[in-house]
Amino acid sequence: MEKEDLKVLNKGEEEEMELQGYRLCRWRLALVGLGVLCTGGFLLLLLYWMPEWCVKSTCTRTTARDAKVVLLRSTDEFKRWFLARVRVMLAPGSNPFHSLDTQTTSPSSPSSPSHPFSSHASPPLANGHSPHHSDGSPAQELISRFGDYQPIQIRYFTFHSTKYYWNEEVQNFGVLNGLEDLQVSCSTLHSEHSAGLTRNQQEYRRLFFGVNEIAVKVPSVFKLLIKEVLNPFYIFQLFSVILWSADEYYYYAVAIVFMSVISIATSLYTIKKQYIMLHDMVATHSIVRVSVCRDNKDIEEIMSTDLVPGDVMIIPSNGTIMPCDAVLVSGTCIVNESMLTGESVPVTKTNLPNPTPGERGEEADSAYNTEEFKRHTLFCGTNVIQTRFYTGELVKAVVVRTGFSTAKGQLVRSILYPKPTDFKLYRDAYLFLLCLVAVAGIGFVYSIVLSVINKVPAKTIIIESLDIITITVPPALPAAMTAGIVYAQRRLKDIGIFCISPQRINICGQINLVCFDKTGTLTEDGLDLWGVQRVEKGSFHLSEENAYKENLVKSQFVACMATCHSLTKIDGQLSGDPLDLKMFEATGWLLEEATEEETALHNRIMPTVVRPPKQLLPPEPAASPDQDMELYELSSAYEIGIVRQFPFSSALQRMSVVARLLGEKRMDAYVKGAPEVVASLCRKETVPENFAEVLEGYTKQGFRVIALAHRRLESKLTWHKVQNVNRDHIETNMEFLGLIIMQNKLKAETPGVLQDLHQAHIRTVMVTGDNMLTAISVARDCGMIPPQDTVIIADAFPPHNGQAAKITWRYADKPSKTPRLEEVTISLEDNFHVDEQKPQELYHFAMNGKSFAVIEEHFPDMLQKLVLHGTVFARMAPDQKTQLIEALQGVDYFVGMCGDGANDCGALKRAHGGISLSELEASVASPFTSRTPNISCVPSLIREGRAALITSFCVFKFMALYSIIQYISVTLLYSILSNLGDFQFLFIDIAIILLIVFTMSLNPAWKELVARRPPSGLISGPLLFSVLTQILICLGFQTITFLWVRHQPWYTVWTPHTDVCNQSSHLNVSDHNDTELDDHNIQNFENTSLFYVSCFQYLIVAIVFSKGKPFRQPSYKNWPFVLSAICLYIFLLFIMFYPVRSIDEFLEIVCVPFEWRVKLFLIILVNAAASVLMETFVLDIILWKLVFSRDKQGSFVDTPAAQTPQRGINLGTYKCLSWLCCPRKMAPKARYMHLAQELSVDPDWPPKPTTTTEAKPRPENGSTYHIMVNS
């Protein structure tokens, strides 16, 4: 049925949503209005909290096309609901890329007839709506200017700062991103989009794309206040305050209002501050004056807010902060992209290639997109430091995206509208609160029944029954839970770890696998030149220490080292990639760049020039080897000009330059990059036969190897042709020149930190863009792969010539003595208590990015097995790093990621805990940023995370017990139609609970990482056992107290004249005031006895739950907590044994005989002993080791070198206790544990070195595989 259509927005993207169309229904609206009046506004609140209920109760379903309101639901695991109102705007056309100067239906670009929005325009009213000239549309002026056009209704809605327009062609709403929507080719960008727009075109496009501004509106305090106050928790507090006021509990009501006001004020201050910080970060230089080219060749200065996709802006020579995403069409820019990447190394951006008609093929002239052509794209928010340009031909860039569609806009949107943090603790917290509500429900019914039986007035029944609910759900819970995280954040800041996502601190306590980038993270950032190995006539020379020699100064090898880089001078200092810098400095050459004045004298861009120092040049002409004679002519000055750069691309793994020697007519091309890639671009006869062996020799020793190559270009390639040629035409048929060997030293802290992580059963994985063998070597050197372990390299190949995709397995050589490599089985003692498992094999998988991509596509079920023991992932592209994180999370690992921020942004954001080692706090990609530039921050973060997590558990358990203890007291007192007094509640809630809860969170983290991890949720065996046993103990002792006091020989129903103290007490407190009879029956012996016992119970459970080792420092080191507890103990003992009349009257407690106080003290002592015994001995010593040792059961997958569980435990006892206390623990919950158990009994795993695994397609989705043994 058409009305029930369900649309999907942003299909396949991170923000994928389902959309349903609705229109307002008047009779439903009237019914809801009536309901709101009847419920006193509560229904309105409910509809505010539940957008789907709001829409479904006030609207009827309709098609998305006719909808006035759309209901959106995210398709991720959170299934969140949103609503948006559909608006209508009038415009003279329906496609922003149509040209209004000619015809509405004629696209300005012939390459874009298939643009999704193009079908709107013909006919203008194809959607059947009659146009409404409504509310002074911003388009009115434009419409009147184009009077020939009939205005068209454009329907759209705004969601999360993005406009979604109705697309008639696909019958769905869609986003207008910018110029990329046209799918224009590079040549079309140059030919048809580089002239600029007319003013009319610009104004017309602005109707659709809006103002070019990333507007972070700072909400008013009033708006924030309303939003904060309407939180369900504060509404519950308001309900509680009204109830307490009705029951004349004014002091407690005032105290709660005071707490709430402080809480709301703090929250408002924090939120407002974050908004202001974000607004200031975005607003800095976001609105600037820019020069744009108009269609008539005029240059006009406008505000950057007026820019639209298709505008051609001129980049000023002195640099600027980019106000939009734009693609360079002429000139070169040097840009600092630290705002986006966290890496402050300047990046050279070159103009977009413009293939000539003869060169245009599918590959050469592909459609432009920002990701593929990012080396030619200037991103919003990045700082253009300087430009290089031609005279008369300014540095121009075509605006591609504006506003929130830009790279910076997307980043700001991800901060403004973050995904909720999905963590078991928070889900369990809601479950736990529901349990408390259920307990409150039982008390609610009990109090009503009891009151009805005792014929209590209706008003009292209602108040006291509702009061039970307010007692059971603690009002200070959110503030108490937040305290631990705030303290942890402060401690992290003290050790140099800056956090922008505090909720992630708790999640870091669960991390059991950490991925590390290699260069700059595990190893030193800079590379040192270890040596060079030149190639001549297809064979290697002996390795040389450096290239700083007179006899090499004019060789192509040194020329390549001196020219093939992206270095530039900024304020007279050489700047650029550290590797390029080391390589260039090793030559000893000088680099000179043309000044603006020099550039202006020439009719083309002045190239960067490099030349050797005079002392290296021979004093007179010297004979050169034969192959060099044709390449060099001796001249008075020996200089090489860099004519064109093709910047380094991580996808291509190489960079190249076109250079010309002074006085030469022909140009030279130089390439440097990954040895395997460069060798594949060279003529076979120039690559030495032993290339693979030599390369392997270096990489196994952990060296970073870079290959160089050269080609003499054809004389027909003129300077102008070179500026537009595609790099594929340059980087082919090269001559192999040799290898540069760079040494990448391990950071001093790396081995120690990795050893700490291994001892804590935390897996470590290396994910790097470097060579595979280099990565394996570094992994062995730093201890990530122990010397005795086997490394299995998985080489995957995509389907080729009708053959299925396959994986071949080979073993990397091991430096230590082991059995022959063909033998897979390594003889090890069976370490595990589960009988059916085979011996554990210590092996690690290694693979490169290409293999990872093939395995992910063709062997999805194999990928999960590989990531279980995958330790080295080399040559990984930035997006593959993110995919690896997702694959590890897919098997239930809690993944940490540590990188230097350059190409790890996606992975740092996706991981549960991403730590950037970049010192720039401007990098907002990572939840954590360490100012210490080494990996020692990782254990510190995990330790603090564990401490914060345990603190959260302690606080939650304590708050739950506080509620239940108070609930037990009140329920027992209700049975005699009594209650706790107003000031008793006040003393308990303020003096005991708040003081204790805010100081018990102050325990710092334990000084070292232990092998055990804290539980991930509240609904877990140990925590439930702990809470339930303490509840039973408290219930038991309160019940004993309540019943025992009534059986005392002196017991009588208390009245103001009752005096039992003088019968057995040496204290003379016989002077009593004749007070009025107590309406609430607060003052009685049961109340006083229960008040004393319950007060001590709060303190007992606080001490019992406030655990130290192994995750936090012992409580006795937390002096504010110890001091608070001691002061409260002294005060309570004092008022119990030495009653002070004024205190007794204030707390509404009565005098009881001294012998009963001694008995109460004995009850308290026995209660304390029972609580401590149950928590420390039974739970921590017996049950943790026997039943709840989750990590020990699964330790064989946490790390290959994991320690074994303790032996000597009777298996029958173990299974029996497991079944009784925690039956679900028998089967591990985490998927990686399931997989490890399956693989431990699989005879074909790990694959043997003589096997190939082939993909076999099957009818259903997915694939399977079978293993073949090579003959």
Helix, strand, coil percent values for the chain (each to nearest 5):
45, 20, 40
Q: State both tokens at 900.
A: 């230097």
Q: State both tokens at 1097.
A: 């119970």
Q: State both tokens at 496.
A: 């140099």
Gap between the Cα atoms of 1128 and 1133, Å rounded: 8
H/E stretch holding 609 reads strand 608-611
Please classify residue 13 by burial: count the beta carbons closer than 10 Å to its beta carbon, then call 0-12 exposed, 13-18 middle and 19+ buried.
exposed
Cα torsion 963, 969, 970, 975: sign: positive
Whether the CB-CB separation of 874 and 881 falls below 8 Å is answered with no
Other C-beta atoms lying within 10 Å of the C-beta of residue 717: 17
State the Rg of the chain over Cα: 37
* Dihedrals phi, psi of 230, to nearest 5 degrees: -80, 5
Per this entry, what is the length of the chain? 1271
The three-state secondary structure class of 1264 is: strand
Residue found by looking up tokens 């594929």 in the block: 728
H/E stretch holding 51 reads helix 51-58
Residue 100's contacts (CB-CB under 8 Å, 6 or more residues apart) are 92, 93, 146, 149, 200, 201, 204
Q: What is the DSSP letter of 1223?
A: G
Gap between the Cα atoms of 527 and 917, Å rounded: 18
Residue found by looking up tokens 């007035």 in the block: 457
At residue 866's C-alpha, the angle toward residues 862 and 871, to 5°, is 165
Q: Which of 565, 650, 563, 599 is nearest to 348 (CA)?
A: 565
Whether the CB-CB separation of 464 and 974 falls below 8 Å is answered with yes
Whether the CB-CB separation of 838 and 1237 falls below 8 Å is answered with no
Whether the CB-CB separation of 19 and 64 falls below 8 Å is answered with yes
Largest separation between any pair of C-alpha atoms in the chain: 125
Whether the CB-CB separation of 859 and 799 falls below 8 Å is answered with no
Q: State both tokens at 906.
A: 């996606």
Q: Is 494 a catalytic residue?
A: no
The residue annotated as part of the active site, out of 181, 467, 517, 580, is 517
The helix-helix angle for 937-974 and 458-472 (nearest 10°) equals 160
Q: State both tokens at 716.
A: 């027909």
What number of CA atoms fall less than 13 Å from residue 829's CA on the CB side? 5
Q: State both tokens at 260.
A: 């709430």
The three-state secondary structure class of 211 is: coil
Whether the CB-CB separation of 23 and 81 falls below 8 Å is answered with no
Gap between the Cα atoms of 425 and 953, Å rounded: 9
Whether the CB-CB separation of 1093 and 1136 falls below 8 Å is answered with no
Q: What is the DSSP letter of 1181?
A: I
Beta strands in 171-222 (DSSP E): 172-175
Strand-pair partners of 312? 293, 398
Whether the CB-CB separation of 741 and 544 falls below 8 Å is answered with no
Residue found by looking up tokens 């389907």 in the block: 799
C-alpha distances in angstroms, 112 versus 122, 325, 1005? 15, 21, 60
Active-site positions read 517
